[in-house]
Amino acid sequence: MVAGQEFCAVAEGGRHLPTAVCYTARVLRKWMKIGVPVLVIVVLIATGLYYLMNARTFQLAGHVVHRVDTDAKVVALTLDDGPTDRTPEVLRVLAEAQVPATFYLNGADLADRPEHGRSIAEAGHEIGNHTYSHRRMVFVTPGTVADEIETTDAEIGKTGYTGPITFRPPYGKKLWTLPRYLADHERVTAMWDVEPDSGKPGVTADDIVAETVDRVRPGSIVLLHVMHGSGASLEAIPRIVAELRSAGYEFVTMSDLMTR
Ligand SMILES: [Zn+2]
């Protein structure tokens, strides 16, 4: 014992600890009692929001399509982002394979390269809205959502395309304001059930073909990123088309698929 030191009146573990120590212990115990349940709740809410914002098959409002429930052997090929300067090559590959695709394009890229947007429309492919700036559409205001979607619709209109325009959220992310806007404007959220090249650096055309052929089932929506990256996704297209056709599949656009 140190002379002059004060000790707690209540014994802790059979010992009378110095006042400062037992005071700290008491405060810690109190915070643990409140803090642990609060932390658990925060983690649960954050986990729930994370799954909700990334869910492919569910959103809080509006119509989301990640595949179509059908026995018919139909599949939609959907190509995200751009248009970039790779567009002529992409269109050549699709023309040679005689396959229709649905392009989810960004308004800013259309504004930068209007000639590529026009050539996609002229080739008869479907065009979808993938926002103006390709930003994550979570924790955004209703004004931002409206602006991202409407400015992109306007750019799509300038390509000469007049067909249906479904919407695909960048990174597949959505929470509340985006689905609410889409529901209010009767717009379809077009997700996917097969994504052989997403977030896989170094993936080869062989891998992409194998995963696509393995995962596609009647009514599937395949997502490929052909506008940038190594070129493996574009290289995979003729083989995906050949293999699925020989298995009896017909390729259709996103809006065609939704009528099956
Ligand atoms: Zn994208």
The contacts of residue 95 (CB under 8 Å, 6+ apart) are 123
Q: What is the pLDDT of residues 236-250, one digit of tens each?
A: 999 999 999 999 999
pLDDT for the residue numbered 244: 98
Q: Tell me how far apart the terminal alpha carbons of the chain are, to the nearest angstrom.
A: 85
Which residue among the candidates 80, 81, 193, 197 is catalytic per the annotation? Answer: 80
- Dist. CA 50–CA 166, nearest whole Å: 24
| Cα 170 to ligand 1 centre (Å) | 5
| Cα 32 to ligand 1 centre (Å) | 43
Residue 80: active-site member:
yes
Q: How many CB atoms lie within 10 A of CB 212?
A: 27
- Cβ(236)–Cβ(205) below 8 Å: yes
Q: What does the pLDDT average to over 111-131?
A: 98
pLDDT for the residue numbered 22: 81
Which of 39-43, 124-128, 192-196, 207-211 bottoms out in mean pLDDT, i.e. has the lowest? Answer: 39-43
223 has a pLDDT exceeding 90: yes
Q: Which residue has the higher pLDDT, 55 or 196?
A: 196
| Cα 225 to ligand 1 centre (Å) | 8
pLDDT for the residue numbered 8: 77
Q: What is the pLDDT of residues 143-174, one digit of tens each?
A: 999 999 999 999 999 999 999 999 999 999 99
Residue 225: active-site member:
yes
| Cα 13 to ligand 1 centre (Å) | 60
Residue 102 C-beta-side C-alpha neighbours within 13 Å: 28
| Cα 259 to ligand 1 centre (Å) | 25
pLDDT for the residue numbered 26: 84
Q: What does the pLDDT average to over 99-122?
A: 98
| Cα 25 to ligand 1 centre (Å) | 52
State the chain's mean pLDDT as an integer: 93
- Dist. CA 107–CA 152, nearest whole Å: 4
| Cα 95 to ligand 1 centre (Å) | 23
Closest to 81 in 3D by CA, of 124, 37, 135, 43: 135
Cα three-residue angle 239-244-245, rounded to 5 degrees = 100
| Cα 9 to ligand 1 centre (Å) | 65
Q: What does the pLDDT average to over 87-109?
A: 98
| Cα 134 to ligand 1 centre (Å) | 6
Which residue among the candidates 125, 130, 134, 225 is catalytic per the annotation? Answer: 225
pLDDT for the residue numbered 52: 82
pLDDT for the residue numbered 4: 66
pLDDT for the residue numbered 100: 98
| Cα 104 to ligand 1 centre (Å) | 8
pLDDT for the residue numbered 3: 59
The contacts of residue 62 (CB under 8 Å, 6+ apart) are 179, 180, 182, 183, 187, 188, 189
Q: What does the pLDDT average to over 191-215?
A: 95
Q: How many CB atoms lie within 10 A of CB 185?
A: 13
pTM, whole model, 2 decimals? Answer: 0.85
69 has a pLDDT exceeding 80: yes
Q: Place 55 in a pLDDT band, splitting at 50, 70 and 90.
A: confident
